[in-house]
Amino acid sequence: MTLTRTLRSLCAYVLFPCAAFAAEQRGQVLYGGFPVPGAVITATHAGTTVTAVTDEQGFYTLSNIADGAWSIRISKPAFTTVTQEVNVTSTATDATRFELKLLPLAEIHAQPADQPIAPVITAAVPTPAKKGSDTKEDTASAPPPPATQEARNNDGLLINGSVNNGASSPFAQFAAIGNRRNNRRSLYNGGIGIMSVGSSIFDAKQYSLTGLDVPKPSYYRFTGLATLGGPLRIPHLTNRNNAPTFFLAYQWTRNNNASSSSALVPTQVQRNGDLSSVSTPIINPATGLPYANNRVPVSPQAASLLQFYPLPNLSGSSRNNYQTTLLSSSHQDALQARVDKTVNRKNQVYGNFNFQSIRSSSNTIFQFTDRQKNFGLAGGVNWSHRINGRWSFNVGYKFARQTQRSSANFQDRTNVSGNAGISGNNQDPFNYGPPTLSFASGIAGLTDGIPAYNRNQTQTVTGAMQWNRGRHNMTFGGEYRRQQFNYFTQENPRGSFSFTGTATGNDLAGFLIGVPDTSTLATGNPDKYFRQNVFRAYADDDFRMTPTFTVKAGISWEYGAPITELKNRMVNLDILPDFSAVSQVLASSPTGSLTGQHYPDSLIRPFRKAFQPRVGVAWRPIPASSVVVRAGYGIYFDSSVYQTTALKLAQQAPLSRSLSVQRSSTCPITLANGFQNCAGITSNTFAVDPRFRAGYVQDWQLAIQRDLPFSLQLTATYNGLKGTHAAQQILPNTYAYGGTDLCPSCPNGFTYLTSGGNSTRHAGQVQLRRRLHNGFTASLDYTYANAIDNASFLGGQNASSGTGATSQNPFAVPAPTTKNDTTVAQNWRDLRAERGRSAFNQRHTLSLTAQYTTGMGVGGGTLMSGKAGTLFKEWTVLSQIMLNSGEPQTPIYPVATPGTGVSNNLRAQLTGADVYAAPAGLHLNPAAFTTPAAGTFGNAGRNSITGPGQFRLNASLARTFRLKSDMNLDIRADVTNALNHVAFTRWNTTLTSTQFGLPATWNDMRSVQFVSRLRFKCANFCHCCSQRRSPPNRPAPTSRRVMGKTRSSP
């Protein structure tokens, strides 16, 4: 069968999944950070030699070369010759960087030091390589480096301030393929195929916390891909010898997944009001007397909402009596297009366009199905110009837009609240559904999604200029970004009820009789049009002072303006210094009636002094040694909190209804009438300090690296962080549960955001790495870290690299967030008591990655031939083991903070018993905690419980089959959690819950996924998918005399 027929048959019947592209090896040759054109690249492998020449930007491409270990030799007059072994695989997409060294007049080989690394994201520079040995960049198929190393390799972002061509789509791994084809006789690469496929047939059954044998449902995962790349030759429009190059990729994903969920639901007896199994008396809140035999009446509202709860399917357990399997699905279509054009030796332009559509759905134990649709468009154009040998610049423009539609189960269908007799919440058809219910005893909380229609848009203009003079390589640049966040949603339109048992002595009893302990609501003003301007300017200098010492220093200025609303529909509180009185201040009339101060339109004063110096050094103390010392220091600001703050400020009275109340004799809320403003309760639930400042972190780092025998490399790193002006949330004028209100006339019921928090983190890391040799490479990383803070939350998206819709991630949507009560300080007068371990802190982290490819190196069987060599060679086994200590958790005492509707921010009281001396069946000791005495706060520290440790083993097996000289078939099997080990991620730490000490979440069980790709190439893409045509007529060969012999040539 011919090549064409083989390809058409495989694509038509999908007997084997096809690959998106043909194998190639890409690289860039640099000197002092600047490209080196005209360098000769000579690659050899198994007797085959391929050559190429670098273009004006120092790039080269070796197309359609066989997978395996290639020896790359780079030569250029006046420079030293560099030889490096590179492992070429079908999955390698990144360009390998080579650094040349200038030959001095005395022919003495001077080896410059590595480029320094600044903290977190300083540039990683290649280390000098010994002849015949591997270097740090030895293989593109080696295991990925740890997160800390990945961060170092992105240093252009922190010092330069922007990434002009950052990947922003699912095709980030293909961004270089087909985009820079320097050979005029470039080949077309393309194909269609299945990139991954998985099914419930190969996956293990999900873990059952209750032990109930739940049947495994049927589901599948599928990802298809089609790509095309090469020169864009349009008759009469493009120059055949200098045509633009293009790249197209389309991805089609259909994934379905299953997970198990366990819960505690009311029994049939309890639904009828029979709570005789409860050992403590249940109090009638109307009379203060206990109910006879603990039999309580059932309110119409509770009876209506109970119908959504499933009946138990597991008997004999008071912790979890119901288990089911939940299904979720995700459908994705994505397109990436890119066109590059080298206009002449000094000018290059390129543009890109991205499209993404995601449709997903998920259900809950109540069989509520919520759906979400995301649609994104992004594009950009860049122009690079080289003025002369020292000056060059580039400018760019980017545009991104995304829409997000979220629909709830009952939206436009059933008015659940109205049918249940609940009033006061939003009952517009768009927001149909039940209110949120939460229980302190561990009964499953009733909830449904919040509908939304959000549209975000970002426009970005960037510019940068490079200047090279002597040993200095300088860069100057800037960026302006205009961001729009258009929301049509409400924070909590249907309201929330919390049942803690305060009024009745039992949370379920309070629900049945219709007496909640707290209620919250945030509805109205659904459409919000936020705007933000972001400015950046930066300058840096890469100064190679001596052959063994390099300094990279720079400064960046960043101003992310506080977000404003297009129609000035935001509300803050004008507050006296002692919190004795508050009044509303609107962005449309920003003058405080109490303090008289004038507020900006954003209601938060801007901070324009975010100067961020960074410096990094690299030093080779012994020129002939492999020892390298790196150090760096930098300051980084984070303005992420502005988005969340703006959403909350736009959901306040008088523009909308917002309340957070606790039931009392003066505020007798019920299920039927639970959303009412009571005397003494502030009608606003959130306020922010107008002098709120964006936090910043100081980052310093010291690393020492050296080579060891047996192709080993050892790196020891110390990293320190100091955060300042972190966000803190307090509840003014509150007091301990059971205590006395010292200021009854003072306003309460609102959360106040300030920036007085701080944090520290110290980490030591040791990395032992074996370079690729004879097909084997491995890496062992161990990190010991300790992080503490007193902040409500840390990190988040910042103006440069956040989770919002930025130039780096145009498809990300900053979803509206609700208040997380666990981040509110329990005692607003004692914020020092909030200092504890950071929620992300994992004390010990160990990662071991190993990869072996058969048939590489003399000792690995590279000389094997025949059938034995065909069967043995090119099998790649990759294994990764991750072992981490648990993340910190807080013991919660779930009662409402007096005067507010906020619960879950108070902590338990320690008894002195061992927290981890748990009885059988539990992982935490309930006897280690008790309820605090009346009028006192719990003394258990924030994040004082260590969560479960983590262990996971992943593995993969891959092989490349050589079908023809221009056709290869790659197959791979990926196994996640290969040992099918149950790894819990969090404990239940709510003191009054029946599930206290039990696992709250756990990782997925073993999952298997298969990947198969057929890679091919053709000189004319039209011939790839059509019948093979007869070769064109060629002129008869002519004869010529060469050194006395007659040879024919076409």
User: Tens of pLDDT along 5-31?
Assistant: 433 433 333 333 333 333 567 788 877
- Can you give the pLDDT at residue 105? 44
What value does the mean pLDDT take over residues 875-897?
94
Backbone phi and psi for residue 645, each to the nearest 5 degrees, phi listed first: -65, -40
Query: 209 pLDDT band (50/70/90 cuts)?
Result: confident
Residue 65: band (very low, low, confident or very high) from pLDDT cuts 50, 70, 90: confident
Give the three-state DSSP class for 431: helix
Q: What is the pLDDT of residues 976-1020, one digit of tens each?
A: 999 999 999 999 999 999 999 999 988 888 999 888 877 767 666
Q: What is the mean pLDDT of residues 226-247?
A: 80
pTM metric for this prediction: 0.77
3-state secondary structure of 929: strand
Tens-place pLDDT, residues 893-928: 999 999 898 988 899 999 999 999 999 989 999 999
What is the DSSP code (8-state) at residue 139? B
From CA 161, how far away is CA 539, in angstroms rounded? 9
* The pLDDT value given to residue 235: 77
Tokens of 449: 């999604």
**CA 375 from chain center: how many Å?**
19
Q: Is the pLDDT of residue 870 over 90?
A: no
Q: What is the largest CA-CA distance in the chain?
A: 121
pLDDT in tens, 436-493: 999 999 999 999 999 999 999 999 999 999 999 889 999 999 999 999 999 999 999 9
**Range 823-829 average pLDDT:** 92
CB half-sphere exposure, 44, CA atoms < 13 A: 6
Question: 24 or 836: whose pLDDT is higher?
Answer: 836
Dihedral sign, Cα of residue 595, residue 598, residue 600, residue 605? negative
- Please state, in angstroms and rounded to a whole number, the distance separating the CA atoms of residues 1036 and 736: 100
Q: What is the pLDDT of residue 1018?
A: 66
Phi/psi at 376 (5° precision): -130, 145
Per-residue pLDDT at 1040 exceeds 50: no
Res. 834: pLDDT tops 80: yes
Question: Residue 32's pLDDT band (boundaries 50, 70, 90)?
Answer: low
- Alpha carbon 295 to its chain centroid, in Å, reads 50
Please give the Cα distance from 919 to 898 (Å, whole number): 34
Task: Express each pLDDT in 699-715 by its tens digit.
Answer: 999 999 999 999 999 99
Write out the H or E segment, with its range, that includes residue 336: strand 322-342
Secondary-structure class of domain 23-109 per CATH = mainly beta
Q: Which of 111-115, 195-199, 786-790, 850-854 has the lowest mean pLDDT?
A: 111-115
Among 316-325, 655-664, 671-680, 867-876, which is the least confidently predicted range? 867-876
How many Cα atoms occupy the beta-carbon half-sphere of 877 within 13 Å? 6
Which stretch of 63-67, 594-598, 653-657, 999-1003 has the lowest confidence by average pLDDT? 63-67
Q: Alpha-carbon distance 298 to 512, whole Å?
A: 5
pLDDT (0 to 100) of residue 63 = 66
CB 875 within 8 A of CB 959: yes
Q: Residue 166 has what pLDDT?
A: 31
**Per-chain mean pLDDT for the chain:** 81
Q: Which of 348, 362, 438, 368 is nearest to 165 (CA)?
A: 348
462 near 164, Cβ under 8 Å? yes
User: Does the pLDDT of residue 821 top 50, yes or no?
Assistant: no
Give me the mean pLDDT over the 747-754 stretch: 93
| % of the chain at pLDDT higher than 90 | 56
In 3-state terms the chain splits into helix, strand, coil percentages (rounded to 5) of 10, 45, 45
What Rg value do the Cα atoms of the chain yield, rounded?
A: 32
